[in-house]
Amino acid sequence: MGRWRVFGLIVGAGLVADQVTKLYINSTMSLYQSIPVVQGLFNITYLRNKGAAFSFLANAVWRLPFFVAVTVAALLVIVVALRRLRDDQWLAQIALAMIFAGAVGNLIDRLRLGEVIDFLDVYWRSYHWPAFNLADSLICIGVALVAVDMLREERPPVS
């Protein structure tokens, strides 16, 4: 299967999963409502984030144009990087598709709502990781896979 077909399938599946879950949360829960899933560890909690990770730039007046511009630039870099990969770099191809899908998923929220819907709430006692969504998960997993691929490529020459 060609790299662009795999890319399209992963991006499509990631976007559908991200947007369907966000639409479901938005239509079935009230803002700030929380549903325990694993007591003391994980809740589904409906939140909205105007910023980036850890609410970075949430109160900046120019945040929306900034996030849109950065996302579009990142998407272009991903497409260029994908074109430059070798055919045998399947892990990097999958990783870039995951990052692309996550970036587009959050971009859709920003353009549609001016903020991102978050709902995955992981915590231990009173220590909460910032809430996130499937798009954020796709980006993080994709970045981790890129790192793994880079480490695999760093093999010393066989003598």
Q: Is residue 65 classed exposed, middle or buried when 0-12, 13-18 and 19+ CB atoms within 10 A define those classes?
A: exposed
Task: Decide if 14 contacts 101 (C-beta within 8 A).
Answer: yes
For the chain, the C-alpha Rg in angstroms (whole number) is 17
Please state, in angstroms and rounded to a whole number, the distance separating the CA atoms of residues 34 and 45: 4
Catalytic residues: 118, 136
* CA trace torsion 67, 63, 118, 29 (10° rounding): -130
- What order do you get walking across the sheet with 116-124 strand by strand? 34-38, 42-49, 116-124, 127-128
